[in-house]
Amino acid sequence: MKQSRVNRRDFLRLSATGAGAFLLPNIAGAAVSTPTNKVTSEGEGIPVRPLGKTNVSLPVLSMGVMRADNPNVVRAAYSAGLFHFDTAHGYQNGRNEEMLGNFFADKPRDSFFIATKIKSHYPLHDNFEEDLNKRFAQSLMRLKMDYVDILYAHALGEISEASDTRITDALLKLKKEGKVRFIGFSTHAQKPEQIHAAIDAGIYDVILLSYNFKMNNLAETDAAIERAAKAGIGLIAMKSMAGGAEDAEGKKKINAQACLKWVWQNKHITTIIPGFSNFDEFDECLAAAHSLELTEFEKNYLADLSDKEMLFCRNCGTCASQCPEKLPIPDLMRAYMYAYGYRYAQLTKETLQELNISNACSTCTSCKVSCPSGFNVAQKIAAITPLTQVSSVFLT
Ligand code: SF4
Ligand code: SF4
């Protein structure tokens, strides 16, 4: 896979002369080349990789805006040469999209690349498409944009959801209307079968997937990623820090550079969207993006963590048949990770609301789940469900 380098200065210069279109094709979808002939010399800037067959190339480091509420961190990322920013309709009750809309209002539209996501509940209700369109119109308004570069169906869980024609038809319609350039879905499910189903559906431009060194089924996932890449689907990685902490309590921050570099070793991954929200976190990510190879120290560090209990649920599926309440335990473990790893209780609350869970475990006197990762799932669930009763004003 071709990998080249570009920096913000070059990018803006190219945009100003009209050549920026070589990097980001316009909404009309004209054929566009990758920026191979517009790069800085090796060692400068951030490497870029092609995003499937979209004719767009993105820096290997992007910004997951999710937790960020300081536009100056977005400014730092933009100034450093990042131009892909990932948000969602639900993040910070819409304030995340609003912040990006305000920040980019005076920037050339072809100098940034925006992705947002909209979550639909399963089973889909009768007015699913009307609801999707309404919320997407609201997202565009918040972003102050006529179109987004990627619209994802947010957090698909089941394998069948990726090929659900009600979803794919609704996304395709928005693409045809020019409100979306590329369509995709995001997934925390860690199910390679879901990627295969998406390839077979034949409509997706991009998949945003959890991908990190802690995953349970890496061989199968890598095989699915390779097949998706061959089919021209762009692969973007999230959850790359495996929860952001080395330990199960979320006390010791993980080595972000090692985690990011591990992901970049897979050349089919176009870019990663780490959710940095302050300058220190950003600096660490940026340093990694200028030197993608893992050092021996980093390799050993990750090897030492591979069997340790951390905050990342490997979605092994063991608990699915053990829980009498049929709780979505992997999603609840993710919600716990948001609170204790990301220190982002508001997202925990939003996730619990999306899952429609305000209390749980009332039918058990003792937990029936035996988790191979060592999670005390009942304890973790009990620790987060009270957040649904806390006003968002008091949550960060
Ligand atoms: S058993 Fe543990 S690791 Fe496996 S899916 Fe359930 S919570 Fe996650
Ligand atoms: S206590 Fe354990 S088994 Fe019982 S509902 Fe909660 S998670 Fe499921």
Confidence of residue 37 (pLDDT cuts 50, 70, 90): very low
The count of residues in the chain is 396
The closest of 65, 28, 3 to 238, measured between CA atoms, is 65
Quick: pLDDT tens for 72-96.
999 999 999 999 999 999 999 999 9
> How much distance in Å is there from the Cα of 314 to the middle of ligand 1?
6
Quick: pLDDT tens for 260-316.
999 999 999 999 999 999 999 999 999 999 999 999 999 999 999 998 999 999 999
Instruction: State how far the alpha carbon of 354 is from the alpha carbons of 131, 192, 265, in Å.
Output: 15, 24, 33
> How much distance in Å is there from the Cα of 1 to the middle of ligand 1?
34
The mean pLDDT value of the chain amounts to 89
The closest of 195, 202, 136 to 170, measured between CA atoms, is 136
d(CA 1, CA 49): 8
In the prediction, which pLDDT does 44 show?
A: 58
Quick: pLDDT tens for 105-143.
999 999 999 999 999 888 899 999 999 999 999 999 999
Q: Determine whether the shortest distance from the Cβ of 224 to ligand 1 is under 6 A.
A: no
In the prediction, which pLDDT does 299 show?
A: 97
In the prediction, which pLDDT does 14 show?
A: 34
In the prediction, which pLDDT does 5 show?
A: 53
In the prediction, which pLDDT does 15 show?
A: 35
Question: Mean of the pLDDT values across residues 362-384?
Answer: 95
**3-state class of 302 per DSSP?**
helix
Q: Which residues line ligand 2 (CB under 6 A)?
A: 323-325, 327, 360-361, 364, 367-369, 377-378, 381
CATH architecture of 4-301: Alpha-Beta Barrel (3.20)
Per-residue pLDDT for 29 more than 60?
no
Task: Give 245's strand partners.
Answer: 253
Ligand lying nearest the CA atom of residue 319: 1
Ligand 1 pocket: which of 333, 361, 368, 379 to mutate (most atoms within 8 A of CB): 333
Nearest C-alpha to atom 2 of ligand 1 is from which residue? Answer: 371
Q: Determine whether the shortest distance from the Cβ of 73 to ligand 1 is under 6 A.
A: no
Residue 66 makes CB contacts below 8 A (sequence gap 6+) with: 86, 87, 88, 91, 96, 275, 344, 347
Q: Where do the structural domains in the chain lie, given as residue ranges?
A: 4-301, 318-394
Per-residue pLDDT for 367 more than 90?
yes
Report residue 338 as tokens.
Answer: 């948001």
> How much distance in Å is there from the Cα of 357 to the middle of ligand 2?
13
Per-residue pLDDT for 2 more than 50?
no
In the prediction, which pLDDT does 270 show?
A: 98
The closest of 40, 66, 318, 26 to 186, measured between CA atoms, is 66
> How much distance in Å is there from the Cα of 262 to the middle of ligand 1?
23
In the prediction, which pLDDT does 12 show?
A: 39
Q: Determine whether the shortest distance from the Cβ of 332 to ligand 1 is under 6 A.
A: no
Helix%, strand%, coil% for the chain, nearest 5: 45, 15, 45
Relative to the CA of 216, which ligand 1 atom is closest? 3
Whole-prediction pTM value?
A: 0.89
Q: Determine whether the shortest distance from the Cβ of 189 to ligand 1 is under 6 A.
A: no
Confidence of residue 391 (pLDDT cuts 50, 70, 90): confident
In the prediction, which pLDDT does 359 show?
A: 83
